[in-house]
């Protein structure tokens, strides 16, 4: 079974958490692949920014998995998680501002 180095999580909780994080990782990885295909097809900055933001969601999932296994200390987990959240928010806002509004002069 799992070898946990911390005392913040019990065996049953770790298993449940890993299942949830694993599903989240698979889902965000699939979404990232779709976003990458869209970005390659559209070749625009907004698509690229959104693809990077979705890629950061995948990174965040791996940080969570590392935390469950004790490879990522809890303070680093929180620092990385909130840093990724801020980065995603900024990337999404940048993508929104780069999109032309319908009917705007080019």
pLDDT tens digits for 87-101?
Answer: 999 999 999 999 876
Query: How many Cβ atoms from other residues are within 10 Å of residue 83's Cβ?
Result: 13
Query: Is 6 a member of any domain?
Result: no
Query: Is 1 a member of any domain?
Result: no
Query: Is 2 a member of any domain?
Result: no
Query: Is 80 a member of any domain?
Result: yes
Domain count for the chain: 1
Asked whether the beta carbons of 15 and 2 are under 8 A apart, the reply is yes
Predicted TM-score (pTM) of this structure: 0.79
Domain extent for 88: 11-98
pLDDT at 105 over 80: no
Asked whether the beta carbons of 72 and 80 are under 8 A apart, the reply is yes
**Gap between the Cα atoms of 65 and 61, Å rounded:** 6
Query: Is 38 a member of any domain?
Result: yes
Asked whether the beta carbons of 60 and 84 are under 8 A apart, the reply is yes
Query: pLDDT digits over 32-43, tens only?
Result: 999 999 999 999
CA end-to-end distance (rounded Å), the chain: 59
**Gap between the Cα atoms of 26 and 37, Å rounded:** 17
Query: Is 63 a member of any domain?
Result: yes
Q: Assign residue 73 a region (left: φ > 0; alpha: ψ between -120 and 50; beta: otherwise).
A: beta
Query: Is 94 a member of any domain?
Result: yes
Query: Is 5 a member of any domain?
Result: no
């Amino acid at each position: 079974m799992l070898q946990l180095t911390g005392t913040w999580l019990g065996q049953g909780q770790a298993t449940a958490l890993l299942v949830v994080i694993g599903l989240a990782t698979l889902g965000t990885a699939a979404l990232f692949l779709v976003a990458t295909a869209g970005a390659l097809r559209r070749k625009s900055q907004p698509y690229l920014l959104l693809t990077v933001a979705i890629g950061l969601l995948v990174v965040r999932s791996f940080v969570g998995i590392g935390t469950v296994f004790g490879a990522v200390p809890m303070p680093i987990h929180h620092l990385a998680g909130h840093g990724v959240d801020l980065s995603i928010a900024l990337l999404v806002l940048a993508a929104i501002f780069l999109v032309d509004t319908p009917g705007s002069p080019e």
